[in-house]
Amino acid sequence: MFDTIILQTGPAEHSVFTTLLRGHNPDLTVLPVFTAEDLAAVEPEWLRRARLIAFTTPVIVPKHVLDQLGYGAYNFHPGPPQYPGWAPAHFALYDRVSDFGATVHRMIEQVDAGPIVDVEVFPIPADTSVAGLEEQTYTKLVQMFWRLARVLATQTEPLAQSVALWGDKRHSRRAYREICDIPLTIPKDELQRRIKVFGTDHFGIVPSINLHGFRFRAISPETEVADA
């Protein structure tokens, strides 16, 4: 019997989303999951009665948990289908695309690869920063959660699949590190491009140059002035 939502998100969203889900289904038990340790502590008996919802969380749901969930798992991904994987906003701005978006999909063992349920696409405003694009994407994801909350809280069947498909290029933490590894021969315009997108110290990884065994952080003049 479906009577439980495992809500994998941050503390700020948990209270609001729990109220929303239980507004559609007052009999629901909503279990908070903030860390991988929280998820590992959920008993198999609960998993069989539950649907898992992940909202902009870095916690990876292992296959054995996905296999035990009685009513599937759904992820709210902060990027469009063309940008599965790590840091989608960064790579989209680096690629200078005109549109971005947010994706809801059923979770399978491979990250950001399951059947897509819903997609929101929007134009990227001129001169948008990574932080600005992520904020706009977060707003879209919240709107999508509101729109899907009723079926997530009440429907026992899998959510209807969209015709949208994932893109072929999947970015990873390794790819992020590699693009921040600046070669000495890099052209000036490419260096400026990388620092603009990846120079904000997200994830503790910054554009850096290796020289004679020493590692130097590459920063823009604007950053240097601000730090002063």
Domain identity same for 24 and 99 = yes
- Distance between CA 4 and CA 46 in Å, rounded? 7
- For 190, the domain range is 175-227
**What's the first-to-final CA gap in the chain, in angstroms?**
60
Model pLDDT, residue 87: 94
Q: How many CA atoms lie within 13 A of 190 on its CB side?
A: 9
Q: How far apart are CA 37 and CA 225, in angstroms?
A: 42
Domain assignment present for 162: no
DSSP bridge pairs for 76: 55, 104
The residue among 33 and 220 whose pLDDT is bigger is 33
Residue 68 · residue 62 · CB < 8 Å:
no
Q: Which residues contact 116 (CB under 8 A, 6 or more apart)?
A: 81, 103, 104, 105, 106, 161, 162, 164, 165, 166
Q: Are residues 15 and 79 in the same domain?
A: yes
Verify that 63 and 128 share a domain, yes or no: yes
Of 57-66, 115-124, 185-194, 201-210, the poorest mean pLDDT is in: 201-210
Residue 140 CA to residue 99 CA, distance in Å, equals 13
In this prediction the pTM is 0.90
Instruction: Give the end of a domain, one of 100, 119, 154.
Output: 154
Alpha-carbon span 219 to 106, nearest angstrom: 39
Main-chain dihedrals φ then ψ at residue 181, nearest 5 degrees: -90, 100
What's the pLDDT at 228?
47
- HSE at residue 109, side-chain half, CA atoms within 13 A, is 4
Residue 53 has pLDDT above 80, yes or no: yes
pLDDT of residue 222: 56
Which of 125, 154, 183 is at the close of a domain? 154
Q: pLDDT tens digits for 102-149? A: 999 999 999 899 999 999 999 999 989 999 999 999 999 999 999 999
Question: Does residue 130 sit within a domain?
Answer: yes
Angle at 44 between CA 107 and CA 61, to 5 degrees: 25
140 & 196 share domain: no
Note the pLDDT of residue 75.
Answer: 97
Query: What is the model's pLDDT at position 212?
Result: 85
At residue 221, the pLDDT reads 62
- The answer on pLDDT for 225 being more than 50 is no
DSSP class of residue 216 equals: E
Is residue 179 assigned to a domain? yes
pLDDT at 223: 52
**CATH code of the domain in which 61 resides:** 3.40.50.170
Average pLDDT over all residues of the chain: 92
| Residue 163 domain-assigned (yes or no) | no
Asked if residue 105 lies in contact with residue 80, where contact means CB atoms within 8 angstroms, the answer is: no
Same domain, yes or no: 11 and 95: yes
Whether 172 shows a pLDDT value over 70: the answer reads: yes
Per-residue model confidence as pLDDT tens digits over 151-168? 999 999 999 999 999 998
Of 147, 9, 158, the C-alpha closest to 71 is: 158
